[in-house]
A and B are shown apart, each in its own frame.
Chain A
Amino acid sequence: MRPGESVPELRVTPDRYLPHRYAGASGDFNPIHIDAEFGRSVGLPGNILHGLYGMALVARASVGAAGGDPRALRRLSVQFRGMGVPEAEITVSGKVREGGEGHAVLELEADQGGTPIIRRGEAEVAGGS
């Protein structure tokens, strides 16, 4: 991976019930993620995606860029911004900021319909040279 190179884009459209499956898988049953009526009662557009689900997509894109071995992902930091919703496409994109022999730093973000949901993603990966 050379500096300036793009990270292969990851496009995912979470279906209507994805937040429920992610809640079960992760153990985070905060009602803002699984109850649209509750979400609206606190000023949200409905039930919103878990921020850590978005981070998991950024992690997938990072591991993918490094060749698919999960051991390649050494560190990932993100900031959560905006809010993701089900039934709309998410795009994870990024580029290589630093690249060397068997090591790279990637800059990534996740965006949904023009709204960033993950900003300032920074991944340190090994391998995939």
Chain B
Amino acid sequence: MTATEAATSVAGRAYPPSVYEVGSEKIREYARAVGEVSPFYFDREAARAAGFRDVVAPPMFCVVYSTGALRPAIGDPELGIDLALMVHGGQEFAWSEPVCAGDAITTTARVAEVYEKRGMGFFVFESVSENQEGREVVRGTWTNIVRRAPAP
């Protein structure tokens, strides 16, 4: 059995959830770093006037609260991902409920798919994040490519 066959057998495996508490200054720091200027991300009153509970996170802030759940998945010894050879090939997020300062977001990651193509290993993970009310906020599909196929 090759390493990829072994990895295929773990498709569907889930990892322990990770919880992230969203703070307003973290939202502002992230928003500044990516060049956002909308007051919804900085000004509590403007955000509330637009119907948010507090300053709202830019959609891509999801990487801040969801990556903690991905770490044990990517580092799973049974998948055998060589981090030095891994590149981030693709990413998808589907958003539901907005995330605001004060939320506590729980993210669970699982192995969606493992396959080989053109001699490279493709490791696809799915993450689902929910807020403190159990409502889904984002669903992520993370495609990591390991440039050389895992050794047999």
Contact = CB atoms under 8 A, between A and B. Distances in A.
Bind each other: yes
Given A26-B63, A28-B67, A76 B92 contact: yes
Contacts of A74: 94-95
Nearest to B39: A68
Given A24-B29, A76-B59, A56 B34 contact: yes
B75 interface: no
A69 interface: yes
Nearest to B84: A42
B93 to A, nearest CB: 6
A24 B33 contact: yes
Q: Is the interface of B mostly helix, strand, loop or mixed?
A: mixed
Interface string B46-88: 0000100000111110011001000000000000000000011
A63 B58 CA distance: 9
A85 interface: no
A1 B92 CA distance: 23
Contacts of A25: 26, 29-30, 32-34, 64
Contacts of A80: 87-91
B60 A56 contact: yes
A70 B40 contact: yes
Q: Is the interface of A mostly helix, strand, loop or mixed?
A: helix
B34 A70 contact: no
B9 interface: no
A75 B90 contact: no
B92 A22 contact: no
B98 interface: yes
Nearest to A18: B33
B35 A55 contact: no
Contacts of A77: 90-93, 141
Nearest to B50: A69
A99 to B, nearest CB: 19
B93 A75 contact: yes
Contact of A78 (B36, B67, B91): B91
A79 interface: yes
Cβ-closest 7 pairs across A and B: A77-B92, A25-B33, A56-B34, A56-B60, A25-B30, A75-B94, A79-B90
Interface of B: 26, 29-30, 32-36, 38, 40-41, 50, 56-60, 63-64, 67, 87-95, 98, 141
Interface of A: 12, 18, 21-22, 24-28, 51-53, 55-57, 59-60, 63, 68-71, 73-80
6 contacts: A12-B35, A53-B33, A77-B90, A77-B141, A79-B89, A80-B90
